[in-house]
């Protein structure tokens, strides 16, 4: 997952609103969002290579999402980052308890958002101790929470405006579908080639080998009801279903 926008206790009717894009190589096998056989309360996609997930929710409001930290020169972790989200969704630890006990050294760089109906926590193994988050708008790409990369700054501002359109989701999906890249002078330097920095600067990433494979809009209303809509894409950003 390479872009997550989250509104936590901002909207009067929807205490949790999430709009997210998952970017990945097309050759990596994955399954669309579905109920999990090991716990039908869980609704999430599935990474079929390592068995984890990038984003998911459980019926009573348990939520988790992860992004990687872009650091190509660093050694790879021994566990898949998607196991963090998987283990939280299948377990019963509080967000704070899970975050404090996570063994961050086993993973490549990650950002993790964990929530239930009571609290939202952020954890990164590149950003000190885990910490709870108060009501507000938050964004993650492939650095740290709210790092002001051009696409995240733009997406957050538009996301704040789109909250007024709920329960409609078209405005959220319009943000997630934006393929515009950032000017070279505004690009971060993360250790990848300039061609890749340009490609990855778009909210909606599209190429023949790597790109946005799923766009998800998720809401939980004040009564606890969850709505989830997912759109999937193939090489070149072509819609799949």
Strand ranges (E), the chain: 3-8, 16-25, 30-36, 39-47, 55-58, 63-68, 110-115, 120-124, 131-133, 136-140, 210-220, 226-234, 238-239
**What integer best gives the mean pLDDT of the chain?**
96
In the predicted model, what is the mean pLDDT of residues 118-131? 97
Domain residue ranges in the chain: 3-230
Q: Would the pLDDT of 1 be above 80?
A: no
Q: How many Å apart are CA 117 and CA 18, to the nearest integer?
A: 14
Q: State which H helix or E strand residue 18 sits in.
A: strand 16-25
In the predicted model, what is the mean pLDDT of residues 58-72? 96
Per CATH, the number for 3-230 is 3.60.60
In a 10 Å sphere around its CB, with 0-12 CB exposed, 13-18 middle and 19+ buried, how is residue 61 labelled? Answer: middle
Structure tokens at 169: 């989701």
User: How much is the pTM?
Assistant: 0.96
In the predicted model, what is the mean pLDDT of residues 64-88? 95
Q: What's the pLDDT score for residue 73?
A: 85
Task: Tell me the per-residue pLDDT of 34-52, one tens digit each, with 9 for 90 and over.
Answer: 999 999 999 999 999 999 9
In a 10 Å sphere around its CB, with 0-12 CB exposed, 13-18 middle and 19+ buried, how is residue 195 labelled? Answer: exposed
Task: Tell me the per-residue pLDDT of 161-176, one tens digit each, with 9 for 90 and over.
Answer: 999 999 999 999 999 9
In eight-state DSSP terms, residue 161 is H
Task: Tell me the per-residue pLDDT of 181-205, one tens digit each, with 9 for 90 and over.
Answer: 999 999 999 999 999 999 999 999 9
Structure tokens at 90: 């299948």
pLDDT over 70, % of the chain: 100
Q: What's the pLDDT score for residue 50?
A: 95
């Amino acid at each position: 997952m390479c872009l997550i926008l989250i509104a936590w206790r901002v909207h009067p009717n929807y205490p949790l609103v999430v709009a997210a894009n998952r970017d990945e190589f097309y050759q990596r096998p994955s399954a669309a969002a579905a109920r999990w056989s090991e716990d039908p309360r869980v609704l999430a996609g599935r990474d079929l290579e390592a068995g984890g997930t990038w984003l998911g929710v459980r019926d009573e409001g348990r939520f988790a999402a992860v992004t990687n930290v872009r650091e190509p020169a660093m050694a790879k972790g021994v566990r898949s980052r998607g196991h963090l989200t998987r283990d939280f969704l299948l377990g019963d630890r509080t967000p704070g308890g899970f975050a404090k006990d996570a063994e961050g050294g086993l993973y490549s760089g990650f950002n993790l958002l964990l929530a239930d109906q009571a609290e939202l926590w952020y954890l990164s193994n590149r950003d000190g101790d885990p910490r709870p988050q108060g009501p507000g708008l938050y964004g993650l790409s492939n650095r740290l929470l709210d790092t002001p990369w051009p696409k995240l700054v733009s997406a957050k501002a538009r996301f704040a405006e789109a909250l007024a359109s709920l329960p409609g989701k078209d405005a959220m999906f319009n943000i997630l579908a934006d393929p515009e890249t950032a000017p070279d002078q505004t690009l971060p330097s993360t250790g990848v080639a300039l061609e890749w920095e340009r490609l990855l600067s778009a909210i909606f990433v599209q190429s023949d080998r790597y790109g946005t494979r799923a766009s998800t809009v998720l809401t939980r209303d004040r009564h606890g009801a969850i709505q989830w809509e997912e759109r999937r894409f193939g090489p070149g950003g072509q819609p799949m279903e």
